[in-house]
Amino acid sequence: MSIIAGIDVGNSTTEVAIAEFTPTSRQPRFLGSSRVSTTGIKGTLSNIPGIVYGLQDAAQAAGIEVSDITLALLNEATPVIGDIAMETITETIITESTMIGHNPGSPGGIGIGVGTTIHIKDLINAERAEKVIVIIPKDYDFEIAASMISRALEFGVDVQGGIIQSDDGVLIANRIPKVLPFVDEVQLIDHVPLNMLAAVEVAAKGQVIRQLSNPYGVATVFSLTPEETAMIIPISKALIG
């Protein structure tokens, strides 16, 4: 008798199914399964804790010990988007000349925002209905930053999101009257150019970004031509991870 575990590491979840095989049976007998959150970036060693959790939960559901499993089969854990192998991220910033992708632990808000980058000190000079992405260096306290953004929204400035050097994404997002994506922990915030069209995206908890990790999503945001879209595919891959 053999007990085999099949493991599927996905972008958001890791699934495990356990079945029993005997020499006399033509079909495997299903014993149990589990679904847990994927740990770390898909396709890396950081997936191992999630795999272990999944095996433990599935073994418990099957009424066996993990040590009873004869063989564990793991799929190729590489997501593919736009015919290009990608990695999992929860936040992305894209401007016309800069791309930054990373996976911090405390993104703020949710969704995608597209606008012109503006330093938070210049937010008071923004025009009504102007779509902006606010750049917030670490020397701005989260309460002050949230207050300045709230005043701009009240004035009619179309704040689409923010890029934050510190880890205050959640603190700022929770203090403004509108749900907006805030990408935080961007240490090289000085590399984000000002007065440029930019897009930021923050995924829901336990999920991954959808549009800015996809070259065709980037093409939609920036109105790229087919030729430009073809060029953006390897760039999209390079920004991940």
> Residue 166 has what pLDDT?
92
Q: Place 204 in a pLDDT band, splitting at 50, 70 and 90.
A: confident
> Residue 201 has what pLDDT?
87
Q: Which range among 41-45, 78-82, 113-117, 183-187 shows the weakest confidence by mean pLDDT?
A: 78-82
> Which residues does 25 contact at the CB level (< 8 Å), separation at least 6?
none
pLDDT at 234 over 70: no
* CA 7 to centroid of chain Cα atoms: 22
pLDDT at 238 over 90: no
Question: Which residue shows structure tokens 């014993």?
Answer: 31
Residue of 131 and 226 predicted with greater confidence: 131
> What is the distance between the alpha carbons of residues 113 and 225, in angstroms, rounded to a whole number?
21
Q: Place 233 in a pLDDT band, splitting at 50, 70 and 90.
A: confident
For domain 85-239, the CATH class is alpha beta
Q: Which range among 25-39, 41-55, 109-123, 129-143 shows the weakest confidence by mean pLDDT?
A: 41-55
Pick the CATH number of 2-78 from 3.40.50.410, 3.60.15.10, 3.90.550.10, 3.30.420.40: 3.30.420.40
The string of pLDDT tens digits covering residues 27-41 is 899 999 999 998 877
142, amino acid identity: F
pLDDT at 95 over 60: no
Distances 172 to 26, 92, 108, 207 between C-alpha atoms, Å: 59, 18, 7, 21
* Closest listed residue to residue 7, CA positions, set 36, 29, 28, 27: 36
pLDDT at 83 over 70: no
* Closest listed residue to residue 199, CA positions, set 209, 207, 188, 190: 209
The string of pLDDT tens digits covering residues 139-171 is 999 999 999 999 999 999 999 999 999 999 999
List residues bridging with 161 in a β-sheet: 133
Question: Which percentage of the chain shows pLDDT scores above 90?
Answer: 51
Residue of 238 and 138 predicted with greater confidence: 138
Domain ranges of the chain: 2-78, 85-239
Is the Cβ–Cβ distance between 163 and 192 less than 8 Å? yes
Q: Which range among 91-100, 123-132, 138-147, 174-183 shows the weakest confidence by mean pLDDT?
A: 91-100
> Residue 164 has what pLDDT?
93
Q: Which range among 88-102, 133-147, 194-208, 215-229 shows the weakest confidence by mean pLDDT?
A: 88-102
Q: What is the pTM of this model?
A: 0.59
Task: Say what the alpha-carbon torsion angle 56, 62, 66, 69 is, to the nearest 10 degrees.
Answer: -140
